[in-house]
Amino acid sequence: MKQRTTQVKRKTSETNVELTLNLDGKGKSNISTGVGFLDHMLDLFARHALIDLTIKASGDQRVDDHHTVEDVGICLGQALKDALGDKKGITRFASTSVPMQESLADIAIDISGRPALVFNVNFNTDRIGNFDASLVREFLEAFSANAGINLHVNVPYGSNAHHIVEAIFKGLAKALDTAVRINERIEGVPSTKGIM
Ligand SMILES: [Mn+2]
């Protein structure tokens, strides 16, 4: 099988991101974005998606974490899209329901090439530690748009915001692990259109 690995480098006046990704890895990661909570989420994302992932990012955090979080999402999305290549033989669809203590996240994805994000999540707090909870949506928006995936995130219940976000990232990881997997019985791209 062709190696599904890639690297992304992106430098703007706001942030500098360097990322490597191996879609068929073992879940090893080395993440340093300057945003501790994001590092924690991406560590567990890589682990549960069985993706090898390194990210080194720095940004204008004297403003706030917004640009850094968004730009890491952009780069992770670009990397996923690039590593998937022509998408031949991939499973394409997946859904998971992942609990984290009292919280539950239901995730559904379609690696369709037509990005959309549905985000039905209510946080009962604006901050998770010193992390701005609204950036979770910003990250997933940037990720799904650049990866070309349709991502639905539903959290039917949950009270602790840290648990809710952790359930979301674990659920996304488990769904991706399934959706990117090659199914030998699929010939070409899994679409009646012939392209995705
Ligand atoms: Mn945690």
pLDDT along the chain (196 residues), means of 10: 92 97 98 98 98 97 94 98 96 98 98 97 96 98 98 98 98 98 93 88
| Å from CA of 31 to ligand 1 middle | 15
Q: How far apart are CA 134 and CA 136, in angstroms?
A: 5
pLDDT of amino acid 46: 98
| Å from CA of 37 to ligand 1 middle | 8
pLDDT of amino acid 2: 78
| Residue 96 identity | T
What three-state secondary structure class fits 162? helix
Count the residues in the chain: 196
Contacts with 13 (C-beta within 8 Å, 6 or more apart), sequence order: none
Q: How far apart are CA 186 and CA 73, in angstroms?
A: 30
| Å from CA of 163 to ligand 1 middle | 7
| Å from CA of 49 to ligand 1 middle | 17
| Residue 63 identity | V
- Among 11, 23, 17, 53, which residue's Cα sits nearest to residue 35? 17
| Å from CA of 85 to ligand 1 middle | 32
pLDDT of amino acid 132: 97
pLDDT of amino acid 27: 98
Contacts with 78 (C-beta within 8 Å, 6 or more apart), sequence order: 8, 10, 146, 147
| Å from CA of 166 to ligand 1 middle | 6
pLDDT of amino acid 194: 86
| Å from CA of 114 to ligand 1 middle | 31
Q: What is the CA radius of gyration of the chain?
A: 16
pLDDT of amino acid 34: 97
Q: Name all domains of the chain by residue range, CATH numbers in brackets.
A: 5-179 (3.30.230.40)
pLDDT of amino acid 196: 85
Paired sense of beta strands 131-132 and 127-128, if any: antiparallel
Residue-wise burial string across 4-36, b where 16 or more C-beta atoms lie within 10 A, e elsewhere: bebebeeeeeebebebbbbbbbebebebebbbe
| Å from CA of 40 to ligand 1 middle | 7
| Å from CA of 165 to ligand 1 middle | 9
| 3-state class percentages of the chain: helix first, strand second, coil last, to nearest 5 | 35, 30, 35
**DSSP state, residue 90:** B
HSE (side-chain half, CA atoms, 13 Å) at 82: 16
| Å from CA of 162 to ligand 1 middle | 6
Cβ pair 61, 34 in contact under 8 A: yes
